[in-house]
Amino acid sequence: MCLVALAIDQSRRFPLVLAANRDEFFERPSARLDWWAAGADGAPALLAGRDLKAGGTWLGLSSAGRLAVITNVRDPSRHDPQAPSRGDVVPLWLQGRLSTDRFWTQTALSGHNGFNLIAADFSADECFFATNQGALPHRLGPGIYGLSNASLDTPWPKVGTLKFRLRTALNRHAGVDGLADELFEALADRSLAADELLPATGVPPEVERWLSAAFIRSPDGRYGTRCSTLVLVERVNRRLVTHVIERSFEPEGLTALQSRTSLRDWPPGRGAEPVSGDPRDPIVHTRIEQALTTPLPAVAQRTRVRSLIRPPAEG
């Protein structure tokens, strides 16, 4: 992924919202969002896209209640072409059972090129950000966060704009479809940043310019936004329903396919046992391509609701 906005506990109706674009060369083969088979060792099933060249993924969730999204750190001067694929990191988190600290100790020393990771384990009530550029993982509390190819909340124009549009959409919409439409519109923004606001990441200024859009197309059409993905966790009465919606794109920029998977009772609450086997059990889910499900009933207002994560400890 090259652009991510995340809202944690900023809406009573939608306690978790993630909106992201994946930018990549179109010649690199990949599979659209779908379930991966559960591991033979009892590892949970994954819902994710798949890089068919290296086998990893850029964004996904597990039936056991984990979620992760990764972005590259743009620094051509430190790029090692022989380094392992950064897409390995996401499935390692999703299918593993290590705590955050143990996972990061193992991952940070694996020789990957620069990357950022936002990862959550909802059965442990935690969400964290980490980068292998030197900082230790830190917990994310309620708030709206943005990430591209620098560090968390680095004020690149497209990061700030997507965060603003996410907050605006949450305040404006009480239904899934309206929220999804507005977020997809934000992710499709092709506006370029003003020259004086462009970051300096080591690529030529003309490249920096076309990379400054939320929705990217290189002048030669070889590189750009391959897919836009939303993860919308919705409270419906006393249950959680998570909608994972993906739009994939051809080099010309036209939508090739939209798919939508809705998961009931995901994510699981704190202390839930890891799930293995068929992703349909115990999760009741629907999957629709090129069509949207009927909006679910409105949520009755309550004065108290459960947060999906514990806030970071102060001090």
**Which residue reads 């309620």 in tokens?**
142
| 59 φ, ψ (degrees, to nearest 5) | -160, 140
Helix locations, 96-175, DSSP H:
100-107, 157-172
Q: What is the pLDDT of residue 279?
A: 46
Output DSSP code: residue 108. T
The structural domains of the chain, with segments of one domain joined by +, span 3-289
Q: What is the pLDDT of residue 274?
A: 47
For residue 243, give the nearest of 160, 178, 301, 158 by alpha carbon.
178
Residues 6+ apart with CB under 8 A from 160: 146
Q: What is the pLDDT of residue 309?
A: 67
Domain 3-289 in CATH 3.40.140.10? The answer is: no
Q: What is the pLDDT of residue 277?
A: 41
Tokens representing 231? 């993860």
Radius of gyration over alpha carbons of the chain, in Å? 18
- Asked, as a colleague might, if the bond just before 282 is cis with ω within 30 of 0, I would say yes
Dihedral sign from CA coordinates of 210, 180, 122, 306: positive
3-state secondary structure of 180: helix
3-state secondary structure of 64: coil
Residue 252's Cβ-count burial label (10 Å; 0-12, 13-18, 19+) is exposed
For residue 9, give the nearest of 239, 306, 244 by alpha carbon.
306
Q: What is the pLDDT of residue 136?
A: 87
Q: Give the pairing type, strands 138-139 and 126-131.
A: antiparallel
**Which residue reads 């392992």 in tokens?**
84
Rounded average pLDDT per 10-residue block, the chain, 315 residues: 95 97 97 82 88 96 95 94 95 92 89 95 94 89 97 97 98 96 97 96 96 97 96 93 95 84 86 47 52 33 49 62
pTM of the model: 0.89
Per the CB < 8 A criterion, the answer to whether 306 and 269 are in contact is: yes
| 122, amino acid identity | F
Residue 180 to residue 187: CA distance in whole angstroms: 10
Residue 218 to residue 221: CA distance in whole angstroms: 5
